[in-house]
Structures are given as structure tokens and as C-alpha cells.
Amino acid sequence: MNKGFSLVELILIIVILGILAISAIPTFTAVSDEAIIAAMEATIGNINDGLALYRANDMVNNGGDGLYPLKLDNVLANAPCSPASPCFVNVLHEGITDPRWKKKTETLYDFELPSGNILNITYSSLTGKFIKAP
């Protein structure tokens, strides 16, 4: 009596496992994309919190209603955020070094999604809001 699997049975098992693995790949990719988007939204929330603290400090130091910063950082236009040039240093303690963030103008930033799409995020120094464009 032979014990074990025949070559045909092994090939059939490998084919079935391959089909199952291929069907699971889109699920893992979607989870990764969702995590990156969640990280981007968390950064926006942190920046908005930093803006509120900036204004509160201005109210304490200068009185009145408090002002928001005119700009969020000192990075040049069309520059990605990097360890050498972090973004948002005027409202976040150490800034952001994620290269998916790119400063376009003093009030406009881009965030590149894994799909290659670009989200535009704007800042208004009048309202102190840093939000995704609709």
C-alpha cells in the first residue's frame, strides 16, 4: 500500500490554493489603501488641533480673539515633505515627513493616494480650517 498523495493530487491542491490566494489579494490591497487614507485623515485632525492650540496661545499672549498662522510651514512650493524639510512645523511639534504630502502653495497641499489619485487639502488662515476639497 502506498501512503501519501499522487502528483496529480498535489498539483490540484496547489491550483486550489493559488486560486484562493488570488481571490484574497484585492481584500488586502483595499485594507492597505484604507489604512493610508485613515493616516491622512488623522494628520488633518492633528493639524486642526495644532491650529486651535496656536490660536489659543495667540489669545493668551496677545489678547483679543486670537489669530491663526498665515502659513503652516516653511517648505518651498512644489516640495514634498521629507526628513530634511518637514511640513506643518508651525502647528505640529516635529512636522510631517511623509513624502505623500506635497506643498503646492502657501494654502494648498496635495496628498497622493496609493491609486495615484491626488487629494487637494486647503488651509484658510482666516477660519483656521485645514480641510479636503470636496
Mean pLDDT of the chain, nearest integer: 88
Q: Is pTM, for the whole model, over 0.95?
A: no
What pLDDT is stored for residue 113 in this prediction?
86
Task: Identify which has the larger pLDDT, 39 or 3.
Answer: 39
Task: Identify which has the larger pLDDT, 88 or 21.
Answer: 88
What pLDDT is stored for residue 104 in this prediction?
93
What pLDDT is stored for residue 115 in this prediction?
80
What pLDDT is stored for residue 21 in this prediction?
83
Look at residue 26 and tell me whether its pLDDT is greater than 80. Answer: no
58-102: per-residue pLDDT in tens?
Answer: 999 998 888 999 999 988 889 999 999 999 999 998 899 999 999
Distance CA 68, CA 130 (A): 11
